[in-house]
Chains A and B, each alone.
Chain A
Amino acid sequence: MTVTDDRSTPVVDFDIYDPTLAYPVDTVQEKVAELAAKGPVVYSTAHGGHWIVTRYKEAHEVLRNPETFSSYPNNLVNAGDGKFLPLELDPPEHTAYRVALQPLFSPNRMKALTEQIRAVVNELIDGFAGDGEAEFISAFAHELPTRVFLALMDWPLEDAPMFTEATDIALMGKPGASEEESAQARAEAAQQMFGYFQKIVDERRANPGDDVTSVLIHTEIDLADGKRLLTDEELTRMFFLLLIAGLHTVQGSLAWAIIHLVNRPGQRAALIADDGLIPSAVEEILRIEAAVVMGRRATRDVELGGVRIKEGDQLIVMLCSANRDADEFDDPDTLDLERTPNRHLSFGAGPHRCLGSHLARLELSIALEELHRRIPDYELVESDPPVLHATQVRGCLRLPIKFTPAS
Protein backbone atom coordinates (compact mmCIF):
# COMPACT_ATOMS: atom_id res chain seq x y z
CA MET A 1 0.00 0.00 0.00
CA THR A 2 1.25 3.49 -0.74
CA VAL A 3 0.35 6.73 0.92
CA THR A 4 -1.69 8.78 -1.48
CA ASP A 5 0.06 11.69 -3.12
CA ASP A 6 -2.49 13.91 -1.42
CA ARG A 7 -0.27 15.84 0.97
CA SER A 8 -3.13 16.71 3.26
CA THR A 9 -3.39 13.07 4.43
CA PRO A 10 -2.29 12.93 8.08
CA VAL A 11 0.40 10.28 8.55
CA VAL A 12 1.10 8.75 11.97
CA ASP A 13 2.89 5.70 13.35
CA PHE A 14 0.12 4.69 15.78
CA ASP A 15 0.08 0.93 16.50
CA ILE A 16 -2.93 -0.42 18.39
CA TYR A 17 -0.82 -3.48 19.33
CA ASP A 18 1.87 -1.38 21.07
CA PRO A 19 1.79 -2.61 24.72
CA THR A 20 2.90 0.79 26.04
CA LEU A 21 -0.38 2.34 24.82
CA ALA A 22 -2.19 0.89 27.83
CA TYR A 23 0.60 0.04 30.26
CA PRO A 24 1.61 1.21 32.81
CA VAL A 25 -1.11 3.84 32.26
CA ASP A 26 -3.98 3.46 29.81
CA THR A 27 -3.51 6.23 27.24
CA VAL A 28 -5.52 4.71 24.40
CA GLN A 29 -8.36 7.24 24.47
CA GLU A 30 -5.90 10.12 24.74
CA LYS A 31 -3.80 8.91 21.81
CA VAL A 32 -6.82 8.11 19.69
CA ALA A 33 -8.29 11.56 20.42
CA GLU A 34 -5.04 13.00 19.04
CA LEU A 35 -5.58 10.99 15.87
CA ALA A 36 -9.20 12.17 15.64
CA ALA A 37 -7.99 15.77 15.95
CA LYS A 38 -5.81 15.22 12.86
CA GLY A 39 -8.70 13.99 10.76
CA PRO A 40 -11.62 11.59 10.41
CA VAL A 41 -9.33 9.16 8.58
CA VAL A 42 -5.58 9.11 9.14
CA TYR A 43 -2.84 6.89 7.77
CA SER A 44 -0.54 4.83 9.99
CA THR A 45 2.74 3.36 8.81
CA ALA A 46 2.49 0.49 11.34
CA HIS A 47 1.78 -3.09 10.20
CA GLY A 48 2.78 -2.37 6.62
CA GLY A 49 0.49 0.66 6.49
CA HIS A 50 -3.21 1.05 7.24
CA TRP A 51 -5.93 3.67 7.59
CA ILE A 52 -7.42 4.57 10.96
CA VAL A 53 -11.04 5.75 11.01
CA THR A 54 -11.58 8.00 14.01
CA ARG A 55 -14.95 9.76 13.66
CA TYR A 56 -18.54 8.57 14.07
CA LYS A 57 -19.83 9.44 10.61
CA GLU A 58 -17.01 7.68 8.78
CA ALA A 59 -17.03 4.68 11.14
CA HIS A 60 -20.77 4.30 10.59
CA GLU A 61 -20.29 4.52 6.84
CA VAL A 62 -17.54 1.88 6.77
CA LEU A 63 -19.36 -0.61 9.00
CA ARG A 64 -22.60 -0.36 7.05
CA ASN A 65 -21.04 -0.82 3.64
CA PRO A 66 -19.62 -4.36 3.41
CA GLU A 67 -19.48 -4.24 -0.38
CA THR A 68 -16.83 -1.53 -0.29
CA PHE A 69 -15.31 -2.44 3.06
CA SER A 70 -14.84 -6.19 3.38
CA SER A 71 -14.41 -7.56 6.88
CA TYR A 72 -11.55 -9.81 5.75
CA PRO A 73 -9.06 -9.40 7.13
CA ASN A 74 -10.44 -8.02 10.36
CA ASN A 75 -7.13 -8.12 12.17
CA LEU A 76 -3.80 -6.42 11.51
CA VAL A 77 -2.14 -9.53 12.94
CA ASN A 78 -3.00 -13.12 12.07
CA ALA A 79 -4.88 -13.70 15.33
CA GLY A 80 -6.88 -16.73 14.21
CA ASP A 81 -4.34 -18.49 11.98
CA GLY A 82 -6.84 -18.03 9.15
CA LYS A 83 -10.36 -16.66 9.02
CA PHE A 84 -12.64 -16.09 11.99
CA LEU A 85 -16.12 -17.22 10.98
CA PRO A 86 -18.51 -15.61 10.25
CA LEU A 87 -16.84 -12.30 11.15
CA GLU A 88 -14.43 -12.43 8.22
CA LEU A 89 -17.07 -13.31 5.63
CA ASP A 90 -19.07 -10.76 3.66
CA PRO A 91 -22.71 -10.96 2.61
CA PRO A 92 -24.32 -13.05 1.17
CA GLU A 93 -22.25 -15.87 2.72
CA HIS A 94 -22.15 -14.04 6.03
CA THR A 95 -25.92 -13.54 5.95
CA ALA A 96 -26.51 -17.29 5.77
CA TYR A 97 -24.53 -17.83 8.95
CA ARG A 98 -26.38 -15.03 10.71
CA VAL A 99 -29.76 -16.48 9.78
CA ALA A 100 -28.74 -19.64 11.64
CA LEU A 101 -27.01 -17.93 14.56
CA GLN A 102 -29.35 -15.06 15.40
CA PRO A 103 -32.27 -17.10 16.77
CA LEU A 104 -29.82 -18.86 19.14
CA PHE A 105 -28.70 -15.51 20.60
CA SER A 106 -32.04 -13.70 20.31
CA PRO A 107 -33.29 -11.29 22.98
CA ASN A 108 -36.03 -13.66 24.11
CA ARG A 109 -33.70 -16.64 24.42
CA MET A 110 -31.21 -14.53 26.34
CA LYS A 111 -33.91 -13.06 28.59
CA ALA A 112 -34.84 -16.59 29.62
CA LEU A 113 -31.35 -16.87 31.15
CA THR A 114 -31.95 -13.94 33.52
CA GLU A 115 -32.33 -15.90 36.75
CA GLN A 116 -29.51 -18.27 35.84
CA ILE A 117 -27.19 -15.30 35.26
CA ARG A 118 -28.32 -13.62 38.47
CA ALA A 119 -27.47 -16.79 40.38
CA VAL A 120 -23.96 -16.86 38.90
CA VAL A 121 -23.49 -13.15 39.67
CA ASN A 122 -24.50 -13.62 43.29
CA GLU A 123 -22.47 -16.77 43.74
CA LEU A 124 -19.39 -14.89 42.52
CA ILE A 125 -20.09 -11.91 44.80
CA ASP A 126 -20.62 -14.34 47.72
CA GLY A 127 -17.04 -15.45 47.12
CA PHE A 128 -15.51 -12.08 48.04
CA ALA A 129 -18.18 -9.83 49.60
CA GLY A 130 -17.08 -10.65 53.15
CA ASP A 131 -13.42 -9.91 52.45
CA GLY A 132 -13.73 -6.17 51.85
CA GLU A 133 -11.35 -6.51 48.90
CA ALA A 134 -11.05 -8.45 45.68
CA GLU A 135 -9.17 -8.68 42.44
CA PHE A 136 -12.27 -7.86 40.43
CA ILE A 137 -11.15 -9.50 37.17
CA SER A 138 -10.31 -12.98 38.45
CA ALA A 139 -13.06 -12.93 41.11
CA PHE A 140 -15.83 -11.58 38.90
CA ALA A 141 -15.34 -9.94 35.51
CA HIS A 142 -13.54 -12.89 33.98
CA GLU A 143 -15.63 -15.54 35.68
CA LEU A 144 -19.10 -14.18 34.89
CA PRO A 145 -18.98 -14.24 31.08
CA THR A 146 -16.95 -17.45 31.18
CA ARG A 147 -19.52 -19.32 33.26
CA VAL A 148 -22.54 -17.93 31.43
CA PHE A 149 -21.13 -18.50 27.97
CA LEU A 150 -19.69 -21.94 28.62
CA ALA A 151 -23.05 -23.03 30.05
CA LEU A 152 -24.84 -21.75 26.94
CA MET A 153 -22.42 -23.56 24.63
CA ASP A 154 -22.08 -26.51 27.03
CA TRP A 155 -18.29 -26.43 27.00
CA PRO A 156 -16.64 -27.80 30.16
CA LEU A 157 -15.98 -25.09 32.74
CA GLU A 158 -12.82 -26.86 33.88
CA ASP A 159 -11.30 -26.12 30.46
CA ALA A 160 -11.73 -22.36 30.96
CA PRO A 161 -8.10 -21.68 32.01
CA MET A 162 -6.89 -23.24 28.76
CA PHE A 163 -9.40 -21.15 26.74
CA THR A 164 -8.23 -18.04 28.52
CA GLU A 165 -4.58 -18.62 27.83
CA ALA A 166 -5.16 -19.40 24.17
CA THR A 167 -7.43 -16.41 23.56
CA ASP A 168 -5.07 -14.07 25.42
CA ILE A 169 -2.26 -15.15 23.12
CA ALA A 170 -4.49 -14.79 20.03
CA LEU A 171 -5.31 -11.20 20.99
CA MET A 172 -2.16 -9.98 22.66
CA GLY A 173 0.60 -12.24 21.41
CA LYS A 174 3.28 -13.34 23.80
CA PRO A 175 4.12 -10.67 26.39
CA GLY A 176 7.62 -9.28 25.87
CA ALA A 177 8.31 -11.48 22.84
CA SER A 178 9.36 -10.38 19.36
CA GLU A 179 6.77 -9.99 16.61
CA GLU A 180 7.92 -13.26 15.02
CA GLU A 181 7.66 -15.15 18.31
CA SER A 182 4.22 -13.68 18.91
CA ALA A 183 3.08 -14.68 15.43
CA GLN A 184 4.30 -18.22 16.06
CA ALA A 185 2.57 -18.29 19.48
CA ARG A 186 -0.69 -17.04 17.90
CA ALA A 187 -0.62 -19.78 15.28
CA GLU A 188 0.04 -22.44 17.94
CA ALA A 189 -2.71 -21.11 20.22
CA ALA A 190 -5.22 -21.11 17.35
CA GLN A 191 -4.28 -24.66 16.39
CA GLN A 192 -4.60 -25.77 20.00
CA MET A 193 -8.14 -24.34 20.11
CA PHE A 194 -9.07 -25.91 16.76
CA GLY A 195 -7.88 -29.27 18.10
CA TYR A 196 -9.91 -28.80 21.25
CA PHE A 197 -13.09 -27.79 19.41
CA GLN A 198 -12.65 -30.70 17.01
CA LYS A 199 -13.04 -33.07 19.95
CA ILE A 200 -16.18 -31.23 21.07
CA VAL A 201 -17.59 -31.36 17.53
CA ASP A 202 -16.91 -35.10 17.29
CA GLU A 203 -18.54 -35.72 20.63
CA ARG A 204 -21.67 -33.60 19.95
CA ARG A 205 -22.10 -35.06 16.49
CA ALA A 206 -22.38 -38.44 18.16
CA ASN A 207 -24.36 -37.29 21.21
CA PRO A 208 -26.23 -34.07 20.49
CA GLY A 209 -27.73 -32.08 23.36
CA ASP A 210 -29.91 -28.98 23.33
CA ASP A 211 -26.92 -26.66 23.78
CA VAL A 212 -25.96 -24.05 21.15
CA THR A 213 -22.93 -26.11 20.07
CA SER A 214 -25.07 -29.13 19.22
CA VAL A 215 -27.68 -27.02 17.45
CA LEU A 216 -25.05 -25.34 15.27
CA ILE A 217 -23.43 -28.65 14.35
CA HIS A 218 -26.80 -29.94 13.20
CA THR A 219 -28.11 -26.81 11.42
CA GLU A 220 -27.98 -26.61 7.64
CA ILE A 221 -26.74 -23.30 6.27
CA ASP A 222 -27.62 -21.85 2.89
CA LEU A 223 -24.12 -21.36 1.47
CA ALA A 224 -22.88 -20.70 -2.06
CA ASP A 225 -22.36 -24.43 -2.67
CA GLY A 226 -25.88 -25.26 -1.51
CA LYS A 227 -27.71 -25.82 1.74
CA ARG A 228 -25.53 -28.00 3.93
CA LEU A 229 -24.12 -28.65 7.38
CA LEU A 230 -20.97 -26.75 8.32
CA THR A 231 -17.68 -28.59 7.95
CA ASP A 232 -15.52 -29.33 10.98
CA GLU A 233 -13.17 -26.52 10.02
CA GLU A 234 -16.02 -24.01 9.63
CA LEU A 235 -17.42 -25.03 12.99
CA THR A 236 -14.14 -24.82 14.87
CA ARG A 237 -13.32 -21.41 13.32
CA MET A 238 -16.75 -20.18 14.37
CA PHE A 239 -16.45 -21.52 17.92
CA PHE A 240 -13.04 -19.86 18.33
CA LEU A 241 -14.57 -16.52 17.33
CA LEU A 242 -17.57 -16.95 19.64
CA LEU A 243 -15.19 -17.73 22.49
CA ILE A 244 -13.10 -14.59 22.00
CA ALA A 245 -16.10 -12.38 21.33
CA GLY A 246 -18.12 -13.70 24.24
CA LEU A 247 -15.57 -13.44 27.01
CA HIS A 248 -13.00 -10.66 26.71
CA THR A 249 -15.39 -7.90 25.74
CA VAL A 250 -17.71 -8.41 28.70
CA GLN A 251 -14.72 -8.69 31.03
CA GLY A 252 -13.43 -5.32 29.82
CA SER A 253 -16.82 -3.63 29.98
CA LEU A 254 -17.40 -4.77 33.58
CA ALA A 255 -13.99 -3.40 34.55
CA TRP A 256 -14.67 -0.07 32.82
CA ALA A 257 -17.99 0.16 34.66
CA ILE A 258 -16.12 0.02 37.98
CA ILE A 259 -13.35 2.39 36.90
CA HIS A 260 -15.66 5.04 35.45
CA LEU A 261 -18.18 4.89 38.30
CA VAL A 262 -15.41 5.24 40.90
CA ASN A 263 -14.38 8.39 39.04
CA ARG A 264 -17.95 9.74 39.02
CA PRO A 265 -19.32 9.39 42.58
CA GLY A 266 -22.43 11.45 41.84
CA GLN A 267 -23.37 9.21 38.96
CA ARG A 268 -22.73 6.13 41.06
CA ALA A 269 -24.93 7.48 43.88
CA ALA A 270 -27.73 8.07 41.38
CA LEU A 271 -27.43 4.51 40.12
CA ILE A 272 -27.48 3.07 43.64
CA ALA A 273 -30.56 5.14 44.47
CA ASP A 274 -32.50 4.19 41.35
CA ASP A 275 -31.97 0.94 39.50
CA GLY A 276 -34.37 2.24 36.86
CA LEU A 277 -31.21 3.89 35.55
CA ILE A 278 -29.63 0.52 34.75
CA PRO A 279 -30.61 0.26 31.05
CA SER A 280 -29.27 3.70 30.11
CA ALA A 281 -26.28 3.21 32.44
CA VAL A 282 -25.34 0.02 30.56
CA GLU A 283 -25.47 1.88 27.24
CA GLU A 284 -23.30 4.68 28.62
CA ILE A 285 -20.72 2.25 30.06
CA LEU A 286 -20.65 0.61 26.63
CA ARG A 287 -20.24 3.98 24.90
CA ILE A 288 -17.48 5.46 27.02
CA GLU A 289 -14.93 2.72 26.19
CA ALA A 290 -15.73 0.53 23.21
CA ALA A 291 -13.72 -2.68 23.54
CA VAL A 292 -13.42 -3.61 19.89
CA VAL A 293 -11.26 -2.10 17.16
CA MET A 294 -12.72 -3.46 13.94
CA GLY A 295 -10.74 -4.07 10.78
CA ARG A 296 -11.83 -3.76 7.14
CA ARG A 297 -10.27 -3.92 3.66
CA ALA A 298 -11.28 -1.65 0.78
CA THR A 299 -12.60 -3.67 -2.16
CA ARG A 300 -12.35 -0.68 -4.52
CA ASP A 301 -10.83 2.79 -4.66
CA VAL A 302 -12.98 5.00 -2.47
CA GLU A 303 -12.96 8.43 -0.89
CA LEU A 304 -13.64 8.52 2.83
CA GLY A 305 -13.43 11.47 5.19
CA GLY A 306 -11.44 13.50 2.66
CA VAL A 307 -8.78 10.89 1.89
CA ARG A 308 -8.48 8.60 -1.09
CA ILE A 309 -8.32 4.94 -0.14
CA LYS A 310 -7.09 2.43 -2.69
CA GLU A 311 -8.48 -0.99 -3.45
CA GLY A 312 -6.81 -3.50 -1.13
CA ASP A 313 -5.94 -0.96 1.58
CA GLN A 314 -6.51 -2.07 5.16
CA LEU A 315 -8.47 0.04 7.65
CA ILE A 316 -9.17 -0.11 11.36
CA VAL A 317 -12.23 1.53 12.86
CA MET A 318 -11.74 3.15 16.25
CA LEU A 319 -15.14 2.70 17.85
CA CYS A 320 -13.76 4.18 21.06
CA SER A 321 -13.21 7.56 19.42
CA ALA A 322 -16.32 7.36 17.22
CA ASN A 323 -18.20 7.00 20.51
CA ARG A 324 -16.63 10.24 21.72
CA ASP A 325 -17.36 12.28 18.62
CA ALA A 326 -18.81 15.66 19.62
CA ASP A 327 -20.81 15.79 16.38
CA GLU A 328 -22.86 12.83 17.62
CA PHE A 329 -22.66 13.09 21.43
CA ASP A 330 -22.97 16.17 23.66
CA ASP A 331 -20.13 16.48 26.15
CA PRO A 332 -18.71 13.20 24.83
CA ASP A 333 -15.90 12.68 27.36
CA THR A 334 -18.30 12.80 30.30
CA LEU A 335 -20.02 9.73 31.67
CA ASP A 336 -23.75 10.51 31.74
CA LEU A 337 -25.81 7.53 32.85
CA GLU A 338 -28.99 9.21 31.60
CA ARG A 339 -27.62 10.03 28.16
CA THR A 340 -30.29 9.92 25.48
CA PRO A 341 -30.18 9.24 22.65
CA ASN A 342 -27.06 7.12 22.86
CA ARG A 343 -26.42 5.63 19.45
CA HIS A 344 -22.97 4.32 20.33
CA LEU A 345 -21.23 1.87 18.04
CA SER A 346 -19.73 -0.46 20.65
CA PHE A 347 -21.55 -3.44 19.17
CA GLY A 348 -20.67 -2.27 15.68
CA ALA A 349 -23.25 -1.43 13.03
CA GLY A 350 -24.41 -3.02 9.83
CA PRO A 351 -24.46 -6.75 9.10
CA HIS A 352 -21.70 -7.67 11.57
CA ARG A 353 -23.51 -6.12 14.56
CA CYS A 354 -22.35 -8.08 17.61
CA LEU A 355 -24.26 -11.34 17.70
CA GLY A 356 -23.90 -11.50 21.47
CA SER A 357 -25.12 -7.96 22.15
CA HIS A 358 -28.35 -9.11 23.79
CA LEU A 359 -26.47 -11.47 26.10
CA ALA A 360 -23.83 -8.84 26.86
CA ARG A 361 -26.46 -6.25 27.80
CA LEU A 362 -28.16 -8.74 30.08
CA GLU A 363 -24.91 -9.76 31.80
CA LEU A 364 -23.92 -6.12 32.30
CA SER A 365 -27.38 -5.13 33.60
CA ILE A 366 -27.57 -7.87 36.18
CA ALA A 367 -23.95 -7.36 37.26
CA LEU A 368 -24.47 -3.61 37.74
CA GLU A 369 -27.67 -4.23 39.67
CA GLU A 370 -26.20 -6.79 42.08
CA LEU A 371 -22.80 -5.11 42.55
CA HIS A 372 -24.49 -1.84 43.52
CA ARG A 373 -26.90 -3.63 45.80
CA ARG A 374 -24.21 -5.65 47.60
CA ILE A 375 -20.89 -3.76 47.53
CA PRO A 376 -21.92 -0.23 46.50
CA ASP A 377 -18.94 1.63 48.00
CA TYR A 378 -16.20 -0.12 46.01
CA GLU A 379 -13.03 1.90 45.43
CA LEU A 380 -9.82 1.30 43.49
CA VAL A 381 -6.63 0.45 45.40
CA GLU A 382 -4.24 3.35 44.94
CA SER A 383 -1.07 1.29 45.45
CA ASP A 384 -2.26 -1.40 43.02
CA PRO A 385 -3.89 0.35 40.03
CA PRO A 386 -5.83 -1.36 37.22
CA VAL A 387 -3.89 -3.07 34.42
CA LEU A 388 -5.46 -2.50 31.01
CA HIS A 389 -4.41 -3.63 27.56
CA ALA A 390 -4.80 -2.34 24.02
CA THR A 391 -4.90 -4.48 20.81
CA GLN A 392 -8.00 -4.92 18.62
CA VAL A 393 -9.96 -6.14 21.61
CA ARG A 394 -9.16 -3.72 24.41
CA GLY A 395 -9.73 -4.80 27.96
CA CYS A 396 -8.62 -5.16 31.54
CA LEU A 397 -6.34 -7.81 33.00
CA ARG A 398 -6.29 -6.82 36.66
CA LEU A 399 -8.47 -4.56 38.81
CA PRO A 400 -8.00 -4.65 42.58
CA ILE A 401 -10.92 -3.10 44.53
CA LYS A 402 -11.79 -2.55 48.19
CA PHE A 403 -15.19 -1.97 49.81
CA THR A 404 -17.03 -2.28 53.11
CA PRO A 405 -17.33 -6.03 53.81
CA ALA A 406 -20.87 -7.27 53.26
CA SER A 407 -22.66 -10.55 53.84
Chain B
Amino acid sequence: MTAHDTETKRGTRRLVVDRSVCAGHGLCYSRSPEVVDCDDSGYPVILQDILELEEHIAAAEEAVAVCPERALTLESS
Protein backbone atom coordinates (compact mmCIF):
# COMPACT_ATOMS: atom_id res chain seq x y z
CA MET B 1 0.00 0.00 0.00
CA THR B 2 1.37 3.40 -0.91
CA ALA B 3 0.99 6.65 0.98
CA HIS B 4 -1.24 7.87 -1.82
CA ASP B 5 -3.76 5.05 -1.23
CA THR B 6 -4.24 5.88 2.43
CA GLU B 7 -4.95 9.49 1.54
CA THR B 8 -7.65 8.73 -1.00
CA LYS B 9 -9.40 5.78 0.63
CA ARG B 10 -9.32 3.66 3.74
CA GLY B 11 -6.90 1.20 2.20
CA THR B 12 -7.48 -2.39 1.26
CA ARG B 13 -9.05 -4.83 3.69
CA ARG B 14 -9.33 -8.53 4.17
CA LEU B 15 -12.59 -10.21 5.29
CA VAL B 16 -11.81 -13.24 7.42
CA VAL B 17 -14.18 -15.92 8.69
CA ASP B 18 -13.28 -18.00 11.74
CA ARG B 19 -14.60 -21.41 10.75
CA SER B 20 -14.23 -22.73 14.29
CA VAL B 21 -16.83 -20.20 15.40
CA CYS B 22 -19.10 -19.94 12.33
CA ALA B 23 -22.29 -21.98 12.77
CA GLY B 24 -23.68 -21.39 9.28
CA HIS B 25 -26.47 -18.94 10.14
CA GLY B 26 -26.10 -17.53 6.64
CA LEU B 27 -26.81 -13.90 7.46
CA CYS B 28 -23.48 -12.67 6.05
CA TYR B 29 -24.03 -13.90 2.51
CA SER B 30 -27.72 -13.00 2.59
CA ARG B 31 -26.82 -9.45 3.56
CA SER B 32 -23.66 -8.98 1.50
CA PRO B 33 -23.66 -11.34 -1.49
CA GLU B 34 -21.12 -9.06 -3.24
CA VAL B 35 -18.40 -10.24 -0.89
CA VAL B 36 -19.62 -13.55 0.62
CA ASP B 37 -21.18 -16.60 -1.03
CA CYS B 38 -22.10 -19.94 0.52
CA ASP B 39 -20.99 -23.52 0.06
CA ASP B 40 -23.22 -26.58 -0.23
CA SER B 41 -23.57 -26.89 3.54
CA GLY B 42 -24.45 -23.24 4.04
CA TYR B 43 -21.07 -22.04 5.31
CA PRO B 44 -19.70 -18.75 4.00
CA VAL B 45 -17.18 -18.52 1.21
CA ILE B 46 -15.23 -15.26 1.02
CA LEU B 47 -15.33 -14.18 -2.61
CA GLN B 48 -12.32 -11.88 -2.79
CA ASP B 49 -9.19 -12.24 -0.80
CA ILE B 50 -8.43 -8.53 -0.81
CA LEU B 51 -11.20 -5.91 -0.76
CA GLU B 52 -10.28 -2.69 -2.56
CA LEU B 53 -13.54 -1.00 -3.57
CA GLU B 54 -15.19 1.18 -0.98
CA GLU B 55 -18.58 -0.44 -1.67
CA HIS B 56 -17.12 -3.89 -1.06
CA ILE B 57 -15.54 -2.76 2.18
CA ALA B 58 -18.90 -1.31 3.26
CA ALA B 59 -20.63 -4.61 2.36
CA ALA B 60 -18.02 -6.51 4.35
CA GLU B 61 -18.61 -4.26 7.36
CA GLU B 62 -22.30 -5.12 7.18
CA ALA B 63 -21.52 -8.83 6.96
CA VAL B 64 -19.36 -8.53 10.09
CA ALA B 65 -22.14 -6.68 11.93
CA VAL B 66 -24.93 -9.19 11.23
CA CYS B 67 -23.10 -12.31 12.44
CA PRO B 68 -24.66 -13.72 15.62
CA GLU B 69 -21.51 -15.74 16.30
CA ARG B 70 -19.07 -12.82 15.74
CA ALA B 71 -17.23 -15.14 13.36
CA LEU B 72 -16.26 -12.48 10.81
CA THR B 73 -13.60 -9.83 11.10
CA LEU B 74 -12.45 -7.14 8.72
CA GLU B 75 -8.71 -6.76 8.87
CA SER B 76 -6.33 -4.28 7.30
CA SER B 77 -4.45 -6.05 4.57
Of B5-13, B52-60, B61-69, the one with at least 4 CB within 8 A of chain A: B61-69
Measured CB to CB, the residues of B under 8 A from A are: 21, 23-26, 29-30, 38, 40-42, 65-69
A105 to B68, CA, bound (A): 19
Chain A residues contacting B23 (CB-CB under 8 Å) are 349-351, 353
Please tell me if the beta carbons of B42 and A349 are within 8 angstroms of each other in the complex. Answer: no
Q: A353 contacts which of B25, B65, B66 (Cβ < 8 Å)?
A: B25
Report which A residues bind B (CB closer than 8 A).
Answer: 64, 99, 102-103, 105-108, 279, 340-345, 347, 349-351, 353, 357-358
Known: A279-B30, A357-B26. A349 touches B69 (CB 8 A): yes
Given contacts A279-B30, A353-B23, contact A103 B40 (CB under 8 A): yes
Contact yes or no, B66 A102, CB < 8 A: no
B25, B38, B40: the one within 8 Å of A357 (CB) = B25
Bound together, the chains give a CA A10 to CA B40 distance in angstroms of 46
B68:A343 contact, CB within 8 angstroms:
yes
Residues of B within 8 A of A357 (CB): 25-26
Known contacts A343-B67, A349-B68, A351-B23; decide if A108 and B30 are in contact (CB<8 Å): no
B42 contacts A358, C-beta separation under 8 Å: yes
- Complex-state Cα separation, A353 to B23, whole angstroms: 6
B42 x A347 contact (CB < 8 A):
no
> What distance in Å separates the Cβ of A278 from its nearest Cβ neighbour in chain B?
12
Q: Which residue of B lies closest to A64 (CB)?
A: B69
Given the complex, which residues of B lie within 8 Å of A342, measured CB to CB? 66
B24 and A102 contact, CB distance less than 8 A: yes
Known: A106-B41, A107-B38. A343 touches B66 (CB 8 A): yes
Given A106-B41, A340-B66, 17 further pairs, Cβ under 8 A: A64-B21, A64-B69, A102-B24, A102-B41, A105-B42, A106-B40, A106-B42, A107-B26, A107-B29, A107-B30, A341-B65, A343-B67, A347-B68, A349-B68, A351-B23, A353-B24, A357-B26
Instruction: State how many angstroms separate the Cβ of B68 from the closest Cβ of chain A.
Output: 4
| A343 vs B67: C-alpha distance when bound (angstroms) | 6
Which chain B residues border A349 with CB–CB below 8 Å? Answer: 23, 68-69
CB distance from A89 to the nearest CB of B (A): 16
Also in contact, A340 and B65, with CB within 8 A (given A279-B30, A353-B25, A357-B25): yes
Give min CB distance, A347 to chain B, whole Å: 7
In the complex, A343 Cα to B41 Cα: how many Å? 21
C-alpha spacing A342/B41, complex, angstroms: 23
B38–A106 CB distance below 8 A: yes
Q: A349 vs B38: C-alpha distance in the bound complex, in angstroms?
A: 18
